[in-house]
C-alpha cells in the first residue's frame, strides 16, 4: 500500500481521523462507468480527482458488496466480494490504490446488524429448521398464541410494518418467526452467537488485508438486543426518552464487540495511519453516544443530534457545546455531519421554518408535500457548512452537498426504490430524494453521471433539470459557486488546522448570532454566523477570510457565515 505519510492530508500522522474531512460516496449514484444507469467502482476511480481537488482527506464508500439491492446494498449477501453491478475485487483494488496515490484514504461500510436473506447463512437457517445451529445465527423465535400465530413481541421495522416475519418450515407447516429491524430481506444476526462474532471479525480482516483505512459501522447501536427480547415501550420517541429505552437500541453488550474490533484494527496500525472505526449510532443523549468512542472502542461516531438541530443560534450553540463536552469526556474528537444517504439534504431541510423543536426527522419530501424554500435552504446550508467545517474534530460530507444539490422532491412514486416507501404504505416518502445521481456536466442525458452514448441507460433515478446548472463542470472556477466555497473552506481549514483547534465562544453571541473562535496555533479563526433576520455589523479591524454568501458592505446578511482573522 503506498505510504500515505507524505499525503496531502491535513494530518499525515497516525491519528489522521481526529480532524479528517471524509466524503461519502454512494456507489449507486456517484459515477456510472459502463452506462448501465447505475454507478460503479470504475466510475468512482475515474472521478477521484474531484475529491483531491475538493480537498477532502478520505472517502467513505457505501456498500458495493454482493447484494440483491433490496436496501441499496445494505442487505449484504457476500461480505467479501463486489457485486457485479459495481464491478470486481480487482476494480476495488484499482480504486483503493489510485486513491492512496492521490493521498486519499478509503473507509468502507460494514453492515453487521443483519445480512441479506440471500446470504448463504440465512438460506441454511431456513433449511435447517428450529433448534439448529444454523438458526442460532439469527434471531428466530417461536410465535406467541396457541398456534404460534402471533409475533414473539411488539417490535416494528424502522422502515414501517412489523419487525417479525413467519417462515414456512421445510415440511410445509407454519413455523418460527425471524426478526428484521429493517426490511424483510434483512434478517438480524444473533450477536450472542460466537459464530456471528467470528464471521464479522473475519470480514474486517479481509478488507484490512486489502488495505482499507477503516470502516463505517452500520446500525452500530443495534447489534445486541435486551435479554428475553421484551416488548418495546409504547409511545417512545427521541424527544422524550433515551435511545436505550428501546430494547433493541444502545444495549450495554455492544461495547465488548467494539473493544474486540478496536483490538483488531489496532493490530494493523502503521506510521502512515490508524485503521479506523466510525459508528453510525443514532443514540441520545450525548453522553450515551460518547461511550462508543472511549479509547478502546470506536475512533468516531456521527453526531446526529447536531445534524437534526434546527438552524437557530441558541439551539446550535447548545448542541455544539454539549456534544463537544461529551466527546472530550472520553478524549474523542467530535464527528460532525449535516447530510447523508438517509436524511433530507440539508440544502432543503433548512429551507423550512426552523421552528420545529426537538430532533427534526424528516421522512422524505414528495409531490403534494410542503416544499422547501430553495434559496433560503441553500443560503442556510452553506452557512451551516461554514460553521461545521470550522469546528474542532472530523467532518463528513455527503456527495453532492459541495454542489448545493437540493433534495429531489418530485419523484414519481413508481420510481422510488427505498423499502421505507413501500413498507410505510407511502406515508414516508423514503430516502430516494437525497440519492439522485450526481451531475458532472451541464450537458448529456444524465448530466455526465454516465457516458454520453446512444446506448447508455438513463440514470437509475431521474435527475431534475436544475442538476445541469449545479453540475461540477458548471461550478468549477466560478467565483461564488457552492463548489468553490467548499474548496475554499476546506483549504482554509487545512491551513489553519481548525480540526485540531480549541473552540472559544465570543461576546458577539446572541439569540440570533453564533460566534466562536477556533485556535490550533496556525492562525486563530473567528466564525460569525448570522441566523437572525437583520444584517449584523462586522467587528472592527477584522479581515474576512471567506463568507458563505455576499456581504452587505461591512455587514453580514441573514443566513450567512463569515470566517475572520
Which residues form the interface with ligand TEU (CB under 6 A)? 71, 74, 111, 158, 182, 218-219, 280, 282, 341-342
Give Dmax over CA atoms of the chain in angstroms: 82
The least distance separating ligand TEU from the CB of residue 1, rounded to whole angstroms, comes to 27
The least distance separating ligand TEU from the CB of residue 469, rounded to whole angstroms, comes to 29
The least distance separating ligand TEU from the CB of residue 302, rounded to whole angstroms, comes to 10
Is 218 one of the catalytic residues? Answer: yes
Nearer to ligand TEU, 59 or 562 (CB): 59
The least distance separating ligand TEU from the CB of residue 17, rounded to whole angstroms, comes to 20
Any alpha helices (H) in 458-564, and if so which ranges?
A: 466-469, 472-475, 482-495
Residue reference for cell 478520505: 58
Beta strands of 34-104 (E only): which ranges?
58-61, 65-66, 78-82
CA-to-CA distance for 538 and 555, rounded, in angstroms? 5
Asked if 30 and 80 touch (Cβ cutoff 8 Å), the reply is no
Catalytic one of 218, 238, 250, 401: 218
CA-to-CA distance for 244 and 251, rounded, in angstroms? 6
Is residue 545 within a helix (H) or strand (E), and if so which, with residue range?
strand 544-547
Instruction: Report strand pairing: 78-82 vs 105-110.
Output: unpaired
Torsion of CA 341, 347, 353, 356, to 10 degrees: 30
Catalytic one of 183, 280, 401, 402: 280
Nearer to ligand TEU, 304 or 467 (CB): 304
Q: Is 338 exposed, middle or buried (0-12, 13-18, 19+ CB in 10 A)?
A: buried
Nearer to ligand TEU, 231 or 452 (CB): 231
Nearer to ligand TEU, 397 or 562 (CB): 397
The least distance separating ligand TEU from the CB of residue 249, rounded to whole angstroms, comes to 6
Instruction: Choose among 319, 257, 333, 254: nearest CA to 290.
Output: 333
- SS3 call for 525: strand
The least distance separating ligand TEU from the CB of residue 90, rounded to whole angstroms, comes to 27
Q: DSSP letter at 552?
A: B
Residue reference for cell 457485479: 84
Asked if 91 and 42 touch (Cβ cutoff 8 Å), the reply is yes
Residue nearest to ligand TEU (CB): 74
Nearer to ligand TEU, 435 or 497 (CB): 435
One DSSP character per residue, 168-182 reads EPTTSSEEEEEE-SS
The least distance separating ligand TEU from the CB of residue 176, rounded to whole angstroms, comes to 22
Is 32 one of the catalytic residues? Answer: no
Distance (Å) of CA 130 to CA 50, 133, 166, 182, 562: 52, 9, 12, 23, 62
Residue 267 CB neighbours (<10 A): 10
Nearer to ligand TEU, 40 or 342 (CB): 342
Nearer to ligand TEU, 282 or 352 (CB): 282
Instruction: Please give the positions annotated as active site.
Output: 218, 280
Amino acid at each position: 500500500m503506498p505510504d500515505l505519510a507524505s499525503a496531502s492530508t491535513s494530518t499525515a500522522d497516525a491519528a489522521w481521523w481526529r480532524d479528517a474531512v471524509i466524503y461519502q460516496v454512494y456507489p449507486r449514484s456517484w459515477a456510472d462507468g459502463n452506462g448501465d444507469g447505475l454507478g460503479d467502482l470504475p466510475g468512482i476511480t475515474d472521478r477521484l480527482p474531484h475529491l483531491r481537488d475538493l480537498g477532502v482527506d478520505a472517502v467513505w464508500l457505501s456498500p458495493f458488496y454482493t447484494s440483491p439491492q433490496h436496501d441499496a446494498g445494505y442487505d449484504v449477501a457476500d461480505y467479501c466480494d463486489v457485486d457485479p453491478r459495481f464491478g470486481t475485487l480487482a476494480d476495488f483494488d484499482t480504486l483503493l490504490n489510485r486513491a492512496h496515490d492521490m493521498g486519499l484514504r478509503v473507509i468502507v461500510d460494514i453492515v453487521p446488524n443483519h445480512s441479506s436473506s440471500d446470504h448463504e447463512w440465512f438460506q441454511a437457517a431456513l433449511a435447517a429448521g428450529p433448534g439448529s445451529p444454523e438458526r442460532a445465527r439469527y434471531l428466530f423465535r417461536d410465535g406467541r398464541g396457541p398456534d404460534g400465530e402471533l409475533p414473539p413481541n411488539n417490535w416494528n421495522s424502522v422502515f414501517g410494518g412489523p419487525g417479525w416475519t413467519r417462515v414456512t418450515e421445510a415440511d410445509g407447516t407454519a413455523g418460527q418467526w425471524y426478526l428484521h429491524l429493517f426490511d424483510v430481506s434483512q434478517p438480524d444476526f444473533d450477536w450472542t452467537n460466537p459464530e456471528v462474532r467470528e464471521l464479522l471479525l473475519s470480514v474486517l480482516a479481509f478488507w484490512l488485508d486489502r488495505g482499507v483505512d477503516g470502516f463505517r459501522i452500520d446500525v452500530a447501536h443495534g447489534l445486541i438486543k435486551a435479554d428475553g427480547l421484551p416488548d418495546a415501550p409504547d409511545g417512545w420517541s427521541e424527544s422524550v426518552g433515551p435511545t436505550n429505552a428501546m430494547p433493541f437500541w444502545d444495549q450495554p453488550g455492544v461495547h465488548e464487540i467494539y473493544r474486540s474490533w478496536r483490538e483488531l484494527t489496532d493490530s494493523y496500525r502503521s506510521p502512515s495511519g490508524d485503521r479506523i472505526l466510525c459508528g453510525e449510532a443514532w443514540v441520545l443523549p450525548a453522553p450515551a453516544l460518547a461511550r462508543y468512542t472511549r479509547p478502546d472502542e470506536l475512533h468516531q461516531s456521527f453526531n446526529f443530534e447536531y445534524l437534526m438541530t434546527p438552524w437557530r443560534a441558541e439551539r446550535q450553540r447548545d448542541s455544539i457545546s454539549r456534544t463537544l463536552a461529551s466527546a472530550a469526556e472520553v478524549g474523542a474528537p467530535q464527528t460532525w455531519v449535516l447530510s447523508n444517504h438517509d436524511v433530507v439534504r440539508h440544502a432543503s431541510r433548512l429551507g423550512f421554518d426552523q421552528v420545529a423543536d426537538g430532533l427534526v426527522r424528516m421522512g422524505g419530501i414528495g409531490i403534494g408535500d410542503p416544499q422547501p424554500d430553495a434559496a433560503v435552504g441553500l443560503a442556510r446550508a452553506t452557512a451551516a457548512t461554514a460553521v461545521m467545517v470550522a469546528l474542532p474534530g472530523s467532518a463528513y460530507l455527503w456527495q453532492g452537498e459541495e454542489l448545493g444539490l437540493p433534495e429531489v422532491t418530485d419523484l414519481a412514486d413508481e420510481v422510488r426504490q427505498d423499502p421505507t416507501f413501500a413498507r410505510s404504505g407511502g406515508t414516508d416518502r423514503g430516502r430516494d430524494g437525497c440519492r439522485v445521481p450526481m451531475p458532472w456536466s451541464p450537458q448529456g442525458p444524465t448530466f455526465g453521471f454516465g457516458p454520453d452514448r446512444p446506448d447508455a441507460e438513463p440514470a437509475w433515478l431521474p435527475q431534475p433539470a436544475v442538476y445541469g446548472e449545479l453540475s461540477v463542470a458548471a461550478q468549477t472556477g466560478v467565483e461564488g459557486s457552492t463548489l468553490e466555497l467548499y474548496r475554499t473552506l476546506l483549504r482554509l481549514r487545512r491551513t489553519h488546522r481548525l480540526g485540531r483547534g480549541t473552540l472559544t465562544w465570543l461576546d458577539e453571541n446572541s439569540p440570533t448570532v453564533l460566534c466562536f473562535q477556533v485556535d490550533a496555533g496556525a492562525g486563530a479563526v473567528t466564525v460569525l454566523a448570522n441566523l437572525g433576520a437583520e444584517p449584523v455589523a462586522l467587528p472592527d479591524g477584522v479581515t474576512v477570510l471567506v463568507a458563505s454568501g455576499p456581504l452587505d458592505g461591512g455587514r453580514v446578511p441573514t443566513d450567512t457565515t463569515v470566517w475572520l482573522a
